[in-house]
Copies of this chain bind each other. A is one copy, B any other.
């Protein structure tokens, strides 16, 4: 293993930490009822989105699920806009109408935030189709959990993308559970990457607790996709450290299993490696933590200062016509 470029390594660490610390604060805010609805945390899985999105260009597109705070942040959505969204205020990236599960930010290529499992895949295929038709060298990265693999929309989308050679990168975040359902209880074939063979799509598994491994795989895949190599598929093997959502009593898995996975916390792994390679010391780490903390603080302050949309505008954005706030 050759040493990581120190600056880049620290950058990756900071990116993951931004996601982690933001979400830890979200969890607190949830218990204070500042954030409501469903809240799905990405804690433990940060290396997956970080490694992939690091390889994307600003104009590239991301389609994600309800567990997408990290994806939006890493793609460029300001943390302020994300927190404001969870507060349900006008300054949120979706104007307070979407909430935690529906972060949108077209300026940064963030196309949701789709809370129907599997529902984002056809949309990602369509974005890629538009790019192909328009001759744009854009890549659409579509994130989804391994639970989505059982859905018909997964299957149909995989086939369309492969049949039409579309520039999509399918990123399956295999964290072994769909809510309480372990992979082996939902798939007759548990080797997710192998499923891509049924569509003649290049696919391979990646240790997604190792952000560097993810980045390496993503680099290869993104390049291939961008250069007309058709859709690619990454199985990002990861683990969710926390409950599925804030309501989940986690009856379906062992504490010991969680403990074992926590030993491979992607942030700890990278921190250790950087320290081992002499690229990070206590002061460096403290600097990162401090920057991140102040970004989180600022985001919370921003959200706290947000303004609710006037109730009179309830009917806005149902259709595009300037309806003056009325309901069509």
Contacts and interface: CB of A to CB of B under 8 A. Distances in A.
Interface in A130-184: 150-156, 159, 162-163
A56 interface: no
Contacts of A155: 152, 154-156
A225 to B, nearest CB: 15
Contacts of A159: 150, 187-188
Nearest to A201: B188
A43 to B, nearest CB: 29
Contacts of A153: 152
Interface residues of A, number: 22
A152 B156 contact: yes
Q: Give the interface SS of chain A, mostly helix, strand, loop or mixed.
A: helix
Interface stretch (A70-78, A192-200, A316-324): A192-200
Contacts of A188: 159, 162-163, 199-201
A263 interface: no
Interface in A16-56: none
A149 to B, nearest CB: 9
Contact of A186 (B151, B152, B163): B163
A304 to B, nearest CB: 44
A189 interface: yes
A155 B189 CA distance: 12
Nearest to A186: B163
Given A194-B198, A198-B195, A200-B189, A151 B162 contact: no
A197 B199 contact: no
Contacts of A199: 188-189
A311 B300 CA distance: 69
Contacts of A198: 189, 194-195, 197-198
A150 B186 CA distance: 21
A160 to B, nearest CB: 8
Interface in A92-111: none
A154 B200 CA distance: 18
A201 B159 CA distance: 19
A255 to B, nearest CB: 27
Contacts of A163: 185-188
Nearest to A158: B188
A104 B162 CA distance: 38
A151 B151 CA distance: 11
Interface string A189-228: 1000011011111000000000000000000000000000
Contacts of A162: 188-189
* Leading 8 A-B pairs by shortest Cβ distance: A152-B152, A162-B188, A155-B155, A198-B198, A163-B188, A189-B200, A195-B198, A188-B200
Given A194-B197, A198-B198, 13 more contacts: A150-B159, A151-B152, A151-B156, A152-B154, A154-B155, A155-B155, A159-B187, A163-B185, A163-B187, A189-B198, A189-B199, A189-B200, A195-B198
15 contacts: A151-B152, A152-B153, A152-B154, A152-B155, A152-B156, A159-B187, A163-B185, A163-B186, A163-B187, A189-B197, A189-B199, A194-B197, A194-B198, A197-B197, A197-B198
